Amino acid sequence: MSRSGRVADRRAAVLGSPVAHSLSPRLHRAAYEWLGLSWTYDAIDVATAELPQFLAALGPEWVGLSLTMPLKEAVLSLLDEVEPAALLTRAVNTVVVESGRLLGFNTDIDGLVDVLRRHDVRAGSSSVVLGGGATARSAVAALARVGVGPVTALVRNPAAGDELVALGADLGVDVAARDWLPDGRALGGILAAAEVVVSTVPPGGADPLAAHLLVGRTTTSLLVDVVYDPWPTPLARAWQRAGGNVAGGRELLVGQAVEQVRLMTGEPVPTDVLWAALTD
């Protein structure tokens, strides 16, 4: 049901700390303009400790929030209702305000599914996920939704690896957790053998891999790197030099924002509208 016709002036925002670099305002404002809405969307610096007070102070003008880490996990206990996928992954990147209630969603899964499908990733493809946090859990959920598997998760924290294995079992996809080895050459071999690699680590986290990645090898596989600033990452450049295909964080950002806009406004917006906002 459309929510856009009921009130002319509404508010939404992306929260995080830091958050000034976020491209979400450009995307959502472009969507509102296309929909003919005089809504506002801002970037607001909110730390984890400040989140409960911020949510409690939301007025009737608010329609929704986008969340960056670490708020994606911290918000879970503060919501009135959380969709099953967000509960399963313990990650909420979208809060919809509806009749005074706070509803949590994970549109990162939708965004990554969109990226995988647009790059023609086939069901049954082998994959590797780099990292063990909230975005890695969303990546496993997206890979499972597309039918990709088995999945190898490279993690530094054994407990995070155990959680990804359990999540895979819940979703019907085989996940094996392995240590993020200090030997870059060994990791390069693991990555080269996969048909899809999803790097969920923050900027700089995968940089040490680039020096050894695919040394002496070529690949036609797909790398999805969730980082969008700075871009391209050293990992993405190394992957392209080896002949592989690369999807950057902007593709994921647009895909998840399309679903965020739909949830907050009740109206669909073409992907091209949001892409144009990033190239203006």
DSSP-derived 3-state class of residue 155:
strand
Does the CA dihedral 194-209-90-164 come out positive or negative? Answer: positive
**Any idea which residue has 């909420």 for tokens?**
92
Q: Examine the residue annotation and report whether 72 is marked as an active-site residue of this protein.
A: yes
Provide the token pair at 35: 């929909």
Instruction: Give me Rg for the CA atoms of the chain.
Output: 19
Nearest to 81 by CA among 60, 101, 53: 101
Provide the token pair at 172: 């019907």
What values do phi and psi take at 40, rounded to 5?
-115, 150
In this structure, what DSSP letter does residue 38 have?
A: -
**Catalytic residue (choose from 10, 28, 72, 250):** 72
Contact 75, 92 (CB under 8 A): yes
Q: Which residues are annotated as catalytic?
A: 72
